[in-house]
Amino acid sequence: MTAAAQAARVGVGLGDRAYDVLVGAGLLERAGALIAPFARRRRTAVVSDETVWRLHGQRLTAALEAAGLAVLPVVVAPGEQTKSFAGLADLTDRLLALELDRGDLVTAFGGGVVGDLAGFAAAIYKRGIDFVQIPTTLLAQVDSSVGGKTAIDTPRGKNLVGAFHQPRLVLADLDVLGTLSDREMRAGYAEVIKYGFLGDFAFFEWLETNGAAVLAREPVALSRAVTRSVEMKAEIVAQDETEQGRRALLNLGHTFGHALESETGYGAALLHGEAIAAGQALAFRFSAAQGLCPSQDATRAAAAVAAAGLPTTLADVPGHPFDALRLLGHMAQDKKAEGGRLTFILARALGEAFVAKDVDAGAVLDFLRREGAV
């Protein structure tokens, strides 16, 4: 059996907007045949960034052309600053210049920035055009490419303007992870371990044993980790597409994490996955401090995060010591905060997260100070 034939197929059950996520090696080479059914006009605009396009653009182009699809590349600058109103205006203008219409297809080929930006452009371009995702980072494969969240950032915060727009297909090619830096792998791993923390204790235990193999991109371990993550994401999204309830669990670690990202400037000093790693360890310790979760679970959670070379304390994050009130201020801005009430994803145990509304700001402040904020 070829590697391509072994790709796992995970369905996202959303009725007439249902789609598949394929996870496996060699999917880039099969992309033409897989995407062709969604490209009614036998062409696709491929939105990518300069780095991904340089590394993998030729292979994807050859695969699409071999299936009779014309490729219209739209290559943008890499980095979070592209996910802005200016970046969106530039991208939609370039799509208009290509004279794409509603029968056409956008292919988002890159990490989370490209997926979020191209997905949002597809959501609003001529009031909506189909798109497919080919995520090229671990983080995008296990999280951002699945579930239809698309957005740009504004100076007031990340992902504040966006839309739900589900892709028609997601191709998670494990081979492209071979060119990721170890640091990017670790950052993506923070979102993998999140699935164990939030709802699958057996997966968490498996990661305790096999996390190093996943990070080393050992094919069997990597495939299992990405597939299980995508299965969990697909199941949650199918139940709660627009985050009225359970989907919020996917934000475990994100309230603390976003506050740290805001303080560190959303740049190379602290990658999103690193912030989320520390955020998850903090969420477990806060849960334990509130008497909601056994403290040994919080200790074990932090040990698993640390074993992957990820931060687990405020002191591990550049910029320490943080101002506790400023961190709290960022948390109050969080998209999950409603009417000034703080919402956190907390844990009752490893593998058992829940949505905690109305969390007491004073308790958070005390906790942050005990964790070393000033």
- Positions marked catalytic: 127, 149, 191, 233, 243, 247, 251, 254, 258, 272
Supply the minimum distance, in Å, between the C-beta of residue 236 and ligand GLY: 8
Alpha carbons 107 and 38: distance in angstroms, whole number: 10
Indicate the residue among 143 and 173 with the shorter CB distance to ligand GLY: 143
Supply the minimum distance, in Å, between the C-beta of residue 276 and ligand GLY: 10
Supply the minimum distance, in Å, between the C-beta of residue 223 and ligand GLY: 21
Site string for ligand GLY, 141-180 (x = CB under 6 A): --x---x-x-------------------------------
How many residues interact with ligand GLY (rule CB under 6 A)?
Answer: 5
Alpha carbons 271 and 197: distance in angstroms, whole number: 20
State both tokens at 285. Answer: 């310790």
What 8-state DSSP symbol labels residue 341? B
What 8-state DSSP symbol labels residue 338? B
Identify whether 37 is preceded by a cis peptide bond (ω within 30 of 0).
no
CB-count exposure of residue 194 (10 Å: 0-12, 13-18, 19+): buried
Choice from 34, 75, 192, 250 touching ligand GLY (CB under 6 A): 250
CB-count exposure of residue 352 (10 Å: 0-12, 13-18, 19+): middle
Q: Does 334 help bind ligand GLY (rule: CB under 6 A)?
A: no
Indicate the residue among 139 and 221 with the shorter CB distance to ligand GLY: 139
Alpha carbons 198 and 282: distance in angstroms, whole number: 14
State both tokens at 260. Answer: 């740290």
Alpha carbons 313 and 279: distance in angstroms, whole number: 8
Q: Count of alpha carbons within 13 Å of 130, Cβ hemisphere only?
A: 20
Indicate the residue among 117 and 250 with the shorter CB distance to ligand GLY: 250
Element at 316 (helix H, strand E) = none
Indicate the residue among 30 and 254 with the shorter CB distance to ligand GLY: 254
Supply the minimum distance, in Å, between the C-beta of residue 353 and ligand GLY: 13
Beta-strand pair 19-24/169-173 = parallel
Indicate the residue among 56 and 194 with the shorter CB distance to ligand GLY: 194
Q: Which residue is nearest to ligand GLY (CB)?
A: 250
Choice from 247, 258, 285, 336 touching ligand GLY (CB under 6 A): 247
Q: Does 139 help bind ligand GLY (rule: CB under 6 A)?
A: no
Supply the minimum distance, in Å, between the C-beta of residue 312 and ligand GLY: 21
Interface residues toward ligand GLY, by CB under 6 A: 143, 147, 149, 247, 250
